[in-house]
Structure 1
């Protein structure tokens, strides 16, 4: 639950405002948002007692929380409905990217606890 809420907060904190106009994020916003999500996923996976299958819960909670935050902000600001297509691409990218991060962190955790 904490990962879901933190993903939601990261999304709102980094992408809920646009300095240069509608739907025109600055590169540092995207960098900060992505870095915060990677840090969140790695820290939470490394702190798990039982890695498998709990790292999957961290992964999906992060994807769901961030996606919900992004879709609320974009859905309210978009008048033509294209935010739904953006949401599909966002979910696909987060699933692959955070899945890789969570999987690598789980592998690192398993390797560290085995040695």
Structure 2
């Protein structure tokens, strides 16, 4: 059986060859509750065979805990599209999502104010 290469998703002169609404299946909202800092990790389950290349790329990135923002950056897609791809993977059980530890232990307001004051002094 001959090996078939997939067409590239990007073309240097034309830009992205696959429209983002195709990647998200025309959806504009994820089904899972994810934010930029949500950590996702592969569970060991396989995604459905009909998943697109972005799903496979996201799965490859999820070997260890990684944030939604990092995945969006690696995939080169807007965060909303990354959230939709990841929510597909959460829904089928291929990845698990959890808020970062800082959500359980919110940062002290006085620490945030001290950081802000320091930044203002630098400018």
With structure 1 as the length reference, what TM-score do the two structures score?
A: 0.33
Higher strand share: 2
Higher relative contact order (CA 8 A, sep 6+): 1
Answer with 1 or 2: which has the greater Rg.
2
